[in-house]
Each structure stands twice: as structure tokens, then as C-alpha cells.
Chain A
Amino acid sequence: MSAKSNGSAATPVLYTVLLAVAIAAPFFVYPQFLMRGLCLALFASAFNLLLGYVGLLSFGHAAFFGFAAYVTGHLAKFGTVFLPYFTPFSTPRLHWLEIPMPPWTPELAILGGAFAATLLGLIIGGIAIRRQGIYFAMVTLALAQMLYFFCVQAPFTHGEDGIQAIPRGYLFGAIDMNNSLSMYYFVLAAFILCFLIIQRTIHSPFGQTLKAIRENEPRAISLGYNADRYKLLAFVISAGLAGVAGSLFALVFQIATLNNVHWHTSGEVVLMTLLGGMGTVLGPMVGAFLVAGIQQYLAAFGAWVSIFQGIIFVACVLLFRRGIVGEIQAFRRGGNKAEEEAPAPAVTSHSAAPSPAGE
């Protein structure tokens, strides 16, 4: 709603300009940086679908991003599929059934990673939506940490080393992805596709119901909506798209490591979304490119990255809770003073709800 009705004449122009910039960018800017930015932008947009439009703060989205990166890296490099099975009696251990397969092509490896993230989203989401508000954030954080420990121990992740030298391979068996331009345009195309999926989700009746749940969950339930099922589906979509982002990331940088599943990564995606603007369409992208820039320029200064990120967190929460894009939109709305819409309150449901019940 807010994106479409807000400056509706300017929006198509803006998107066209952005697209033109994105197509021309690799000739001016280092493509590796652009691809990192696009992967993080997709990650943040997927996360924003949940935080901005359902009001659920997941503090464990690195699980989907990082796990999909591992799965894609593994499939693209080795191809072997492992199926888990459990022997409860003789020696209670988890076993893995190995199905030997040749390495997968990049598009199939990405689909595999996204599928794994979706499945993981179904499990983690199914458990986490049983609590709301702060507890939801803590539960997702804890479950993601559990996955982190799993990734430390599981043989296929190669522990501290991670999966290195992941081949980019040939797209559809034909296009050489080692060329950084073809890789860039592939990442851009995947990003646009996922972006359209997110847009479609937000503007569908399903998305409207999500917003209704965000604004007043008890009322949505009383109107007959199964709020938990809607929240779970949104969570699964968000997890799957975060998985696509992680899969692309693994192919671009040809490495999948524990960093990607660490809670720091979960914090970073929250930061990107908060900085850019929760519940805005462009905010997560702006935030992602800014955070990618911070990482790039402060990388040599060690702990300063985290100090700086912490300062941005504090500044965002205290000074501009709407984020950069949100503040710009609010400013423009203030100038036009026509719009009746609330200024993208993002997460206010639980404090505003009539029965917060200690959540």
C-alpha cells in the first residue's frame, strides 16, 4: 500500500532509473562489491517481509542464509546428497545415507539451497511462532544458534574451514559463470525475480491479511483468520528467499563458512533493515548497500566494524526509528500533507494491542 500510493507517479520512474543504474553499475564499480550488496539486499528484503509486514522480529535469519550457502556450496562442489536417519536402539546416533551424485549446475544448486532453507524455515518457524514479541526474537536466535553448533560439528560443512573453492560452474550447463559480468547479471536477475515475488506477496490479499495481523492480531483472529498459519507461511517464504540470498552468496564468493550462520550475520540483517527503514520497499536495499560499504571500508580495522554497527543500532533506535527511506517518505508525506496513512509504524502491534498479556 504505502509504496504504491506514496508518490505513485514517481515510483515507475524511480524503478526504471534504479534498473538502469544496476545494469550499468558493473562497468563503474567493482562487481564483487555490487554482488555482495545485491545478495545482502535480497537477504534484508526477505527479512523485511517478516519484520516490516508481519511485525515479527527474527533474530535468527542467518540460519537460513548460512545453511543455504552450505547446501549450495556442497551441491555445486560435490553433489552428493545426504539423507539423515536415526538408530534409536543399538547405538543412539544420527546416521547419514549417502547418495552419490555428480556436482549440480549452479541454478539447481541454488534451488537446492533455497529448498533446504525453506524446509528449515518450516521447522524453526513452526516452533518460534508459538511465542510472540520479544520471546519470538529470543527463540529464533536460540534455534539459529543450535543450527550454528550443528554446522560446527556436521562433516559436510567442513567445520572451521568451511566449504572452499566452490565452483561457479556453467549456468544451464552453457554460460560460464566465472566471468564476473555474467555472474553479476545472473545475480541481478535472481534478485529482481525474488524482489517481484516479495512485491507480489505484499500486495496480495495474503499480504493484506499479514498487515492486519501485524496491526491487531486478536482482531484478525476474531475475523476468522488463522493467524498462526499466515505467520508461518510468511516465515517460510522469508526463510526461502533468505536462502536464495545465501545460495547466491556462496556462488559469488565461492566459499561457505560458519560466519554466515553466526548470530553476527543475524544482527547485520536486522541492522540493514532498521537502517534503511522497516516496512519500506527500498529501505532494506539501501541499508544493505550501506552495511556492505561499512564492511568494505572498515574491514582492515578489526573490531571497529562491530563498534560502528553498534553505534548505528543505537542511533537508529534513538534518533530515526523509521530508517533512512522511512524518514524520507515521512518527510515527503509531510510536504504533501495529503496522505492519511500512518508513518510505517513497523512494529507497534504488541504494545498497542488491547491484551498484550506480558509478551
Chain B
Amino acid sequence: MSSIWAFLGIPPQALFGQLMVGLINGAFYAMLSLGLALIFGMLNIINFAHGALYMMGAFAAYFLLNFFGIGYWPALLLAPLIVGAFGMVIERLFLKQLYGLDHLYGLLLTFGLALILEGVFRELYGSSGLPYAPPPELTGGYNLGFMYLPTYRGWVVVASAIVCIGTWLLIEKTRLGAYLRAATENPALVQAFGINVPAMITLTYGLGVALAAFAGVLAAPIYSVNPLMGSNLIIIVFAVVVIGGMGSILGSVITGFMLGLLEGLTKVFYPEASNTVIFVVMAIVLLIKPQGLFGRAN
């Protein structure tokens, strides 16, 4: 066993530690790209504000704690609800007016919204970041022998996996999910069956946004609560979405986790490329299979 580590030239703690970090990043990629895919499927809009809404999720948790004394566990439920409701207001006020126009206008509008949201939070809270402590139940960690696992990080991976699978079940196995999928395929026909498609669209946007906010709450104790925490992440998530293709819910989840792991591995073996490896993968996928790994062929 030890000869393997000697051959690789790295201690196992470093390898598994980075793989864990990669898995955490992958969890965030998965939750965000899942939300993007949901929204895109229903609204035909790429939600550029997704990163800003993720940031708002983290801030919502921070506000709940510091202004109302509401802790982490309720915030995990309340923050997505609050930010999701905010998202639905955005959809009703702004996005609704763009249906039927070219998809690019949705991208431009949500880009503008992202600039506004980030600018407002930057104006109010600077860009240095605010601390948010993990709940006492999740502090500390376990020594697994080959690596040290901080409890909170383990929790993030488990929680995100549960949420991703839950969303998948919701979409694939429930009546509401069946309506959603049908409305994605043919909104006019579903409307004709007496289902309120505009309400479903609003709900879908709210759900996607809530997923982003949930990811934001999970991220708050790991990264500090920072107005710019979403803007760089969202570009990587775009690359993840291009790699996976937005055709499949499960596809975007798997792609998210895989790319997080790959990024972690790169940090171990070739750290200079760890920032760029996902973009390189995107370029390669585009050259070989332009519609993405799980995308439907045109």
C-alpha cells in the first residue's frame, strides 16, 4: 500500500483531503446546475442571477441568525423559502415579459439583475465577507485513519445528495413533476388540459431559486458570507451545464459531482491547472460531443 503512495508522490491525507474538497465543490455545482437545468427546461431562460441568488441564500441565513436569532437548522428551510419567494416575484415582474422573445434577452435581463443584487449587497456589506459559524452539532470531525473528515463537510455532501435526489424524485415520480415535464414539452397542450401553466412556470423558477438558496445556506459556514461568492461560481456552473447538457436532471447532478472530484484531483497532481481544468474539459467535450454528455442530440 505504502509503495503506491510513494509512487504517486503524495501523502494519502492530501489526496483524500483534496478529494473531499472536490466533492464539496461538486455538491455546489450539482445543486446549482440542477436549478439552472430546471429553470431552463421550463422557462427557456439561462438564469444568470443564479449565483446572486445563491449568495442571497447565504445572506438570508446570516440575517436570520443576527437579526432574529434564528439558527442554522430553521434557516436551512426558511432561507430557501424566502429567497424562492423573492425569485417568484422576479419571475412575475420581469421574466414573464420575455416569454416568446429570443432566449438571449432572458440571459441579459438576469445578468442585469445579478449586477444589481451583487452591487446592493456590496454597497451594504463590503466585499470582505461575514462570518457564519456551523451549528454545534456539526463541529468537530472524525479521524478515518486515511484522512480527517470535518463533520460539517460530510454533512454538506450528504445534504446536497439528499436534496438532489429529492428533486429528481419530485420531477420524475410525482404528479406535479409529471405536469412539469409535460409543460416543458408542450405548454400549449398542457394548458388546454386545464393546468395553470403560468403558475407552474413561476413555481419552477421559485424551486430552482430555492435550490440555489439552499446551497447558499450550506456554503455559509464553509466560505464566509460574501457578496461576490456567487459570481465566480456561476461561470464554472455554466461550464458544468455545457458539459452535462441540460437535457437530464440526473445528468446535471452527476456531472456536477464528477467535475468537483476532477477539480480536487487536479489540485493534488497539477495545482496550477485546478482553476481551469473544468473549462478545459468543457472545450474537449464541445469538440467531441457538442450537445454535452447527457444532452439530447439536435
Contact = CB atoms under 8 A, between A and B. Distances in A.
Contact of B98 (A307, A309, A317, A347): A317
A326 interface: no
A57 B103 CA distance: 11
A307 B116 contact: yes
A130 B286 CA distance: 7
Given A307-B116, A312-B112, A127 B286 contact: yes
Contact of A141 (B117, B238, B296): B238
B28 to A, nearest CB: 16
A134 B111 contact: no
Contacts of B272: 153
Interface stretch (A75-83, A144-152, A166-174, A175-183): A144-152
Secondary structure of the A side of the interface? helix
A122 interface: no
Interface in A259-316: 263, 267, 270, 274, 302-314, 316
Interface string A49-81: 000000001010000000000000000000000
A194 interface: no
Interface in B113-146: 113-120, 122-123
A351 interface: yes
A131 interface: yes
Contact of A142 (B103, B112, B120, B238): B238
B196 interface: no
B235 interface: yes
A350 B238 CA distance: 20
A351 B115 contact: no
Contacts of B247: 358
Given A146-B280, A302-B122, A302-B123, A309 B115 contact: yes
A119 interface: no
B169 interface: no
A120 B280 CA distance: 15
A231 interface: no
B286 A359 contact: no
A190 interface: no
B239 interface: yes
B103 A134 contact: yes
Interface string B258-298: 00000000000010100110011011001100100000101
Nearest to B118: A306
Contacts of B112: 309-314, 316-317
A322 interface: no
A355 B298 CA distance: 9
Contacts of A134: 40, 46, 103-104, 107
A263 B235 contact: yes
B101 A351 contact: yes
Contacts of A150: 276
B283 A127 contact: yes
B102 A350 contact: yes
Contacts of A305: 119
B298 A307 contact: no
Contacts of B232: 145
A313 B117 CA distance: 13
B94 interface: yes
B102 A139 contact: no
Contacts of B114: 310
Interface string A305-348: 11111111110111001000000000000000000000000011
Contact of A306 (B98, B119, B236, B276): B119
> Which of B100, B108, B117, B276 lies at the interface centre, i.e. has the most chain A CB atoms within 10 A of its CB?
B108
Contacts of A347: 102, 104-105
A255 interface: no
Interface in B30-77: 40, 46
Contact of B296 (A128, A133, A145, A358): A358
Interface string B219-244: 00000000000011001101101100
Interface of B: 40, 46, 94, 97-98, 100-105, 107-109, 111-120, 122-123, 231-232, 235-236, 238-239, 241-242, 247, 270, 272, 275-276, 279-280, 282-283, 286-287, 290, 296, 298
Given A131-B286, A310-B112, A348-B102, 5 more contacts: A92-B270, A137-B107, A152-B275, A317-B112, A347-B102
Interface of A: 57, 59, 92, 127-128, 130-131, 133-135, 137-139, 141-143, 145-146, 149-150, 152-153, 263, 267, 270, 274, 302-314, 316-318, 321, 347-351, 355, 357-359
8 contacts: A92-B270, A137-B104, A149-B276, A302-B123, A304-B119, A306-B119, A313-B111, A316-B108
For the complex of A and B, list the 4 residue pairs with the smallest distance between their C-beta atoms, beginning with the closest: A313-B112, A310-B115, A307-B119, A310-B116
